[in-house]
Chain A
Amino acid sequence: MNNSSTIVSVQNISKSYWREKLEIPVLSNISFDIPDGEFLSLMGPSGSGKTTLLNLIAGIDRPTSGTITVSGNNITSLNETSLAKWRSNNVGFVFQFYNLLPVLTAYENVELPLLLTKLSKKEKKEHVQFALETVGLADRMDHSPKQLSGGQQQRVAIARAIVTDPTLLVADEPTGDLDKHSAEEIMILLERLNSELKKTIIMVTHDPRAAEKAHTTKHLDKGELS
C-alpha cells in the first residue's frame, strides 16, 4: 500500500493466455493506483484486455506476473479458498448480462452472497431490504428475473453486488445490454453508490456517456494503459 488513500495498487502486472502452447499476451507490465472512493472508467477497443484487467483486480483471475494489493492485502498471494473468502467480503460484481439465477426471486438473488455469512436471519433480511430499496426495487422482490426488464434485472444485480457492503464494486459493461433510458438509470445509481455509500467503483465501458459519469477514465490499448 502506497499511502492511506490508495485502495487498489497494481504493480507490474502482465497477463498472457495460452492456446495450445501459443502465448497470447494480453496485458504487459501495467502499474497504477486507484484512490479510495474513486469512480474509474476503463475504456478501449474490443480485445484490448479491459475485462482481463478488471478480473485481475477483482480476484477472479491471476496475473502471469506482478502484484495487486487491495486495501493492504496482496491478493495475488492468496490461495483459492482465501481468495474466494476475500471476494465475498470485499468485492461486488456487476456483469453485462446481469447473471441472475433464473430459479431464484429478486429477493433470493440478492440474498445469495449472504448465504456465505454468519448473519442472523433478521440481519440478512435487513441487508437484502436495504439493498433492494437502494436500487428502488423493494416492491419487486418476489419477482423472478424473467418477470423483470433488463434495466430492472441489472438493478437487482447491483443490489446483489452491494448486499455484503463491499468497499470495491467492479462492473463490466453494466449498460452494454441496455437501452439509453435504462442505461442512464443504472449510471445514476452507480454515481449514487459512489457518492452516498462511498463505494470505490471500477467500470469497463464502451459508452462515452457512461464514462462521463466517472471521475477518471483510463484507456487501454494493445495491453497498455494511458
Chain B
Amino acid sequence: MQIIKLVFKNLKRHLLRLFLTIIGVAIAVLAFTLLKTVVTAWYAGVDAAANNRVVSTHAVSFIFPLPLTYREQIARVEGVDKVCYFNWFQGVYKDKNQFFPRMATDPETFFDVYPECITTPEVKEKFIRTRNGCVIGAKLAKEYNLKVGDKMPVTGDIYPGDWEFEIVGIYKGRDKKSDETWMVFNWNYLNEQIRATQPSRAEHVGWYTFTVNKIDKIPQVSKQIDELFKNSEARTKTETEAAFNQGFISMSGAILAALEFVSYVIVGILLLVLGNTMVMSARERIREYAVLKTIGFTSSHLTILIMGESIIISIVGGAIGIALTYPLVAGIGEALARIFPIFNIAPSTLIFAIFFSLFAGVVASAFPVYRATKMSIVDGLRHIG
C-alpha cells in the first residue's frame, strides 16, 4: 500500500458526496468554459482582422456615407495598396431571423483586400462581370443549401425594393479564424438601382477598407487621409480594421464585461463547492490525522493526503466539465452560427479551465491542510468527532 492508495480510500468514503462534488465542479468548469467561449467568439471579429487593413468611415458615425470620389484620393496616398469599399445592405432574406452580413462591395478589389477569402480566379472574373453577382461563404452555402448559379432574393430595408442576386462563387476561409458567413455582391448593381430611385444617395459608399503595404506606415497613412478630407463635406475617421471592429464590439462592452465577471464568479463558486467538501471531510478526520501524526506521518504526508484528494476531485470534475463543453459548443455553434460565425473553444480557454481546476484543488485544500498540519497531536486525539 502507498500513501496514494490511502487518498483513494478516503475519496470513496462518501460516494454520494464525492459524486455531487465532482458534478458541481464539472458544471462550474462547463459554465466557465462556455462563457469564455462566448466572449472569445464575440472578440473573434477583432482577431480575424488582418493587421495591414485600414478602415475609413465618416468621422461622425459609420452609418453616414462617404462619396465614391474619395476612392481615387485614398489610392493616391503614399503607402496605400488596394482600396475596397462597402455598403451595409442588410435586407431580409427568407425571414427576419436570418442574420448574416450582406454587403455591397467592389468586385475588383474585394479578394485582394480580403486574401483570407479563398476562391478561384474564374470566380473573381465572374464576380466582376455579373451585374447582380454575389459571392457567399462556404458555411453560409452549407447552412442554406446554396450552390453556384442559385438565386438569392432579398427584400431591401435600408435600400428598399426587391433584389435578386445570383451566386457566382463560394469562398472558403483560409483558417478557422476566417469568417465564412459573408454575402458580398457587386456594388455597381446597388448603385445603378439607387441612381434610378434615389439619385441623391448614389455614388456613395458606407466605408473604405484598404490595405497598406507596410504596417508601420498605418498611423502616418491614417493621419494623412483624415487631413486630406478635413475640409470636405464628409470628414473621415481612419483606423485599423481591428480598432474598427473593436468599436463595433464596444457597444456590447458592458455585456461582455458582465460575462467575464460572471465567469470569475463561477470560479469562486467552484472554490466554495470544493472547499466545503474538503473542510467537511477534514473535520471528520481530525482524530485520524492525529493518529497518523502519532505514528510518524509528517506535515508533507498529510499535505499529500488532503491536497491529493482535493486535486483528484477537481481534476476529474474539470475533465468531465471540459469534455461536456465540446459537444455543447458544437451544438451552440451550429444553432447560433449566424450570430457567432466563429465559435470554437480557444486553446487559451482550455488552458484556463485546466489551470482553474488545478488551482481550485489546491486552494480548496489549503485551509484543511493548514489545520491538520498545525494541529497539535494531543488536541487532535482529544477531539470528539
Question: Which residues of A approach B to under 8 Å, CB–CB?
Answer: 52, 55, 58, 60-61, 80-81, 84-85, 87-89, 93, 95, 99, 101, 103-104, 108, 111-113, 115-116, 160
Contact = CB atoms under 8 A, between A and B. Distances in A.
B295 interface: yes
13 contacts: A60-B377, A61-B377, A87-B295, A87-B296, A88-B296, A93-B291, A99-B291, A101-B6, A103-B9, A103-B10, A111-B1, A112-B295, A116-B301
Contacts of B381: 60, 95, 99
Contacts, number: 61
Contacts of B376: 61
Nearest to B288: A101
B6 A113 contact: no
B291 A108 contact: no
B1 A115 contact: yes
Given A81-B298, A115-B3, 6 more contacts: A60-B378, A84-B293, A87-B294, A87-B295, A101-B291, A103-B9
Interface of B: 1-3, 6, 9-10, 12-13, 287-288, 291-299, 301, 376-378, 381
Contact of B12 (A58, A80, A103): A103
A170 to B, nearest CB: 10
Judged by DSSP, the binding face of B is helix
Centre residue among B12, B296, B377 by max chain A CB count within 10 A:
B296
Q: 6 nearest interchain CB pairs?
A: A88-B296, A103-B9, A60-B377, A99-B291, A61-B378, A113-B295
Contacts of B293: 60, 84
Contact of B287 (A55, A58, A99): A99
Contacts of A112: 1, 292, 295
Contacts of A103: 6, 9-10, 12-13
Contact of B296 (A99, A101, A113): A113
Contacts of A52: 378
A108 B1 contact: yes
Nearest to B287: A99
A116 B298 CA distance: 10
A48 to B, nearest CB: 16
A55 B378 contact: yes
Contacts of A81: 298
Contact of A85 (B13, B291, B296, B377): B296
A95 B288 CA distance: 12
Contact of B294 (A60, A89, A104): A60
B1 A93 contact: no
Contacts of A58: 294
A60 B297 CA distance: 12
Contacts of A95: 291, 381
A103 B1 CA distance: 13
A88 B13 contact: no
B235 to A, nearest CB: 76
